[in-house]
Amino acid sequence: MTKPHAHRPSTDFETRVYRIVSAIPAGRVMTYGQVAARIGRPAAARAVGQALHRNPDPPRIPCHRVVDARGGLSQSFAFGGKTAQARLLRAEGVRIRAGRVYPSSPR
DNA sequence: ACGTTGACGTACC
DNA sequence: AGGTACGCCAACG
Protein backbone atom coordinates (compact mmCIF):
# COMPACT_ATOMS: atom_id res chain seq x y z
CA MET A 1 0.00 0.00 0.00
CA THR A 2 1.76 2.87 -1.26
CA LYS A 3 -0.02 5.74 0.15
CA PRO A 4 -3.76 5.06 0.50
CA HIS A 5 -4.76 8.67 0.49
CA ALA A 6 -2.18 11.04 1.63
CA HIS A 7 -3.80 14.34 2.27
CA ARG A 8 -0.24 15.58 2.35
CA PRO A 9 1.36 14.85 -0.99
CA SER A 10 4.85 15.23 0.37
CA THR A 11 7.53 14.76 -2.25
CA ASP A 12 10.83 13.07 -1.57
CA PHE A 13 12.47 16.45 -1.34
CA GLU A 14 10.09 17.68 1.32
CA THR A 15 10.28 14.40 3.17
CA ARG A 16 14.04 14.67 3.40
CA VAL A 17 13.86 18.27 4.55
CA TYR A 18 11.43 17.42 7.32
CA ARG A 19 13.47 14.44 8.33
CA ILE A 20 16.66 16.47 8.69
CA VAL A 21 15.00 19.36 10.49
CA SER A 22 13.30 16.96 12.87
CA ALA A 23 16.74 15.75 13.86
CA ILE A 24 18.08 19.16 14.89
CA PRO A 25 18.57 19.00 18.66
CA ALA A 26 17.26 21.75 20.92
CA GLY A 27 19.70 24.57 21.43
CA ARG A 28 21.19 24.13 18.00
CA VAL A 29 20.37 25.67 14.64
CA MET A 30 20.99 24.89 11.01
CA THR A 31 20.87 27.13 7.98
CA TYR A 32 18.66 26.54 4.97
CA GLY A 33 21.79 26.02 2.94
CA GLN A 34 23.12 23.37 5.27
CA VAL A 35 19.87 21.46 5.14
CA ALA A 36 19.90 21.70 1.37
CA ALA A 37 23.50 20.54 1.20
CA ARG A 38 22.71 17.61 3.43
CA ILE A 39 19.99 16.56 1.00
CA GLY A 40 22.49 16.75 -1.81
CA ARG A 41 21.16 19.95 -3.37
CA PRO A 42 23.45 22.70 -2.03
CA ALA A 43 21.77 25.24 -4.26
CA ALA A 44 18.26 24.41 -3.14
CA ALA A 45 18.27 26.49 0.01
CA ARG A 46 15.34 28.46 -1.26
CA ALA A 47 13.36 25.33 -1.91
CA VAL A 48 14.10 24.25 1.64
CA GLY A 49 12.51 27.43 2.87
CA GLN A 50 9.49 26.68 0.74
CA ALA A 51 9.21 23.24 2.22
CA LEU A 52 9.42 24.58 5.75
CA HIS A 53 6.82 27.17 4.95
CA ARG A 54 4.56 24.25 4.10
CA ASN A 55 5.55 22.49 7.30
CA PRO A 56 2.77 19.91 7.80
CA ASP A 57 3.56 19.20 11.46
CA PRO A 58 4.98 22.22 13.26
CA PRO A 59 5.03 20.56 16.68
CA ARG A 60 6.92 17.61 15.26
CA ILE A 61 9.17 19.54 12.92
CA PRO A 62 11.14 22.22 14.82
CA CYS A 63 11.46 24.53 11.86
CA HIS A 64 12.25 27.41 14.22
CA ARG A 65 15.75 25.95 14.44
CA VAL A 66 16.43 26.79 10.83
CA VAL A 67 17.84 30.22 10.08
CA ASP A 68 19.38 31.91 7.08
CA ALA A 69 23.09 32.05 6.27
CA ARG A 70 23.59 35.09 8.52
CA GLY A 71 21.69 33.59 11.41
CA GLY A 72 18.68 35.73 10.60
CA LEU A 73 15.27 34.60 11.73
CA SER A 74 12.31 34.22 9.45
CA GLN A 75 10.25 37.30 8.85
CA SER A 76 7.27 35.25 7.80
CA PHE A 77 7.54 32.71 10.55
CA ALA A 78 4.15 31.26 11.41
CA PHE A 79 2.10 33.52 13.66
CA GLY A 80 4.39 36.12 15.03
CA GLY A 81 7.30 36.14 12.66
CA LYS A 82 10.73 36.68 14.11
CA THR A 83 9.33 37.38 17.54
CA ALA A 84 7.83 33.95 17.94
CA GLN A 85 10.85 32.23 16.48
CA ALA A 86 13.23 34.20 18.69
CA ARG A 87 11.18 33.29 21.72
CA LEU A 88 11.30 29.59 20.91
CA LEU A 89 15.03 29.67 20.35
CA ARG A 90 15.73 31.64 23.50
CA ALA A 91 13.76 29.09 25.45
CA GLU A 92 16.29 26.55 24.25
CA GLY A 93 19.25 28.63 25.26
CA VAL A 94 20.03 30.11 21.88
CA ARG A 95 21.14 33.73 22.15
CA ILE A 96 19.30 36.06 19.86
CA ARG A 97 20.27 39.60 19.08
CA ALA A 98 18.53 41.96 16.71
CA GLY A 99 16.58 39.15 15.09
CA ARG A 100 19.63 37.00 14.56
CA VAL A 101 21.35 34.22 16.43
CA TYR A 102 24.87 34.86 17.55
CA PRO A 103 27.57 34.05 14.99
CA SER A 104 29.08 31.47 17.28
CA SER A 105 25.81 29.69 17.86
CA PRO A 106 26.23 25.90 17.66
CA ARG A 107 25.35 24.61 14.25
C1' DA B 1 3.30 22.73 -19.79
C1' DC B 2 4.52 27.44 -18.54
C1' DG B 3 5.03 31.21 -15.56
C1' DT B 4 4.94 32.92 -10.91
C1' DT B 5 6.15 32.53 -6.20
C1' DG B 6 9.06 32.32 -2.08
C1' DA B 7 10.88 31.11 5.60
C1' DC B 8 17.72 31.46 0.44
C1' DG B 9 22.57 32.56 -1.04
C1' DT B 10 26.30 35.05 -3.10
C1' DA B 11 28.24 38.67 -5.71
C1' DC B 12 28.46 43.38 -6.68
C1' DC B 13 27.82 48.49 -6.11
C1' DA C 1 28.29 48.45 6.14
C1' DG C 2 24.04 48.39 3.82
C1' DG C 3 21.24 47.80 -0.12
C1' DT C 4 20.47 45.89 -4.87
C1' DA C 5 20.66 42.41 -8.45
C1' DC C 6 20.85 37.92 -10.10
C1' DG C 7 20.94 32.91 -9.70
C1' DC C 8 18.90 28.30 -8.00
C1' DC C 9 15.33 24.95 -6.94
C1' DA C 10 10.97 22.90 -6.07
C1' DA C 11 5.89 23.59 -5.37
C1' DC C 12 1.52 25.69 -7.14
C1' DG C 13 -2.08 27.80 -10.07
Closest amino acid to nucleotide C10 (CA–C1'): A47
pLDDT confidence of residue A26: 96
Can you name the CATH fold of A12-102? Arc Repressor Mutant, subunit A (1.10.10)
Distance CA A4, CA A2 (A): 6
Tens of pLDDT, residues A79-89: 778 899 999 99
pTM for the structure as a whole: 0.90
> CA A104, C1' B4: Å apart?
37
Residue A4 has pLDDT above 50, yes or no: no
> CA A70, C1' C6: Å apart?
19
CB A28 within 8 A of CB A66: no
Query: In this complex, which protein residues place their C-beta within 7 A of any atom belonging to strand B?
Result: A 31-33, 45-50, 52-53, 55, 58, 63-64, 66, 68-70, 74-78
Residue A21 has pLDDT above 60, yes or no: yes
Q: Hey, where are the domains in chain A?
A: 12-102
> CA A50, C1' C12: Å apart?
11
Closest amino acid to nucleotide B5 (CA–C1'): A50
Tens of pLDDT, residues A30-83: 999 999 999 999 999 999 999 999 887 888 999 999 999 999 999 888 777 889
Distance CA A67, CA A3 (A): 32
User: Which amino acids of A are annotated catalytic?
Assistant: 63
